Amino acid sequence: MKKYQLTKIGDFHENHCEDYSLISEIGEHRDLISVLDGCTMGEESYFASALIGKLLKKIAKEEYYLEYIKGEVPSLKHQLEKVLAQLFEELNDLKNSLQLEVDELLSTVILGIIDSSTKSCELQIIGDGIIVQNGLSMEYDQENTPDYIGYHLGENFDYWLTNQTQRLSLDEVSDLSISTDGIFTFSSYNKGEYSQIGTEELIAYLLIDQVDIDNERMLIKKLGEIEMKWGLRPTDDLGIVRVIL
């Protein structure tokens, strides 16, 4: 399995990248994947995405350890829900212990667990972004008003989960990408003359094209080529994870 991830600060941001991406082993044949996008209107929104990302890494390590000790492998659906429940609980505990306000915990979350042995994946989308499976794109657009997890930390988790409609169960996965909505914000950054490329072609170049798949820095290289060949850079922060089986 080949794994790639990328975070890039957008041209409209100066101090911090508010997106976060991660790939973390959660079992012998499984990886937890996630991209997060802190709300620009929130307070220190880079903190929210990084904090949730760090919690997810911690939870993944604990799940891997449990599999090793007990020798039990839960279903993808059950494991994803368990991860979400633990994230919900630990994030709420941190909110209370650090006396954080809601606007300090606003981040979109695309979270998945992919199993390389069965080529299947379970995904939960909290907010917006894009998912591409085997060349097929699925865009989630909440019209710039994402329903952040931070809004619901005081609620009962089971009630919250029941009302989540953005869920995907994928089979026969050979190439999977998840990205924050920064991928839709590429724009010219100078007045040079360059070849033209449309948004769909650009997304395909990053999330579908398999040139240089043996290069672990493939996404970083492609981002540089987009800048040199087409004179484009993302204006909003960008987070991408891509897995090729």
Q: What is the pLDDT of residues 11-45, one digit of tens each?
A: 998 888 999 999 999 999 999 999 999 987 767 77
Question: How many percent of the chain have pLDDT more than 70?
Answer: 99
Q: What is the DSSP letter of 166?
A: -
pLDDT of residue 42: 65
| Tens-place pLDDT, residues 142-161 | 777 788 889 999 899 999 99
Residue type at 183 in one-letter notation: I
The Cα–Cα gap between 55 and 107 comes to 13
Query: 3-state DSSP call for residue 204?
Result: helix
Q: How confident is the model at residue 88 (pLDDT cuts 50, 70, 90)?
A: very high
Within the chain, strands assigned E span 2-8, 19-27, 30-38, 107-115, 120-126, 129-133, 136-140, 167-170, 175-179, 186-188, 232-234, 238-244
Domains and CATH numbers, the chain: 2-244 (3.60.40.10)
Q: What is the structure's pLDDT at 44?
A: 75
Q: Which two tokens stand for residue 31?
A: 């990886």
Query: Helix or strand or coil: residue 229?
Result: helix
Residues 6+ apart with CB under 8 A from 145: none
Q: Compute the mean pLDDT over every residue in the chain, rounded to the nearest whole number.
A: 94
Residue-wise pLDDT tens digits, 111-146: 999 999 999 999 999 999 999 999 999 999 877 778
Global pTM?
A: 0.95
> pLDDT tens digit string along 46-70?
899 999 999 999 999 999 999 999 8
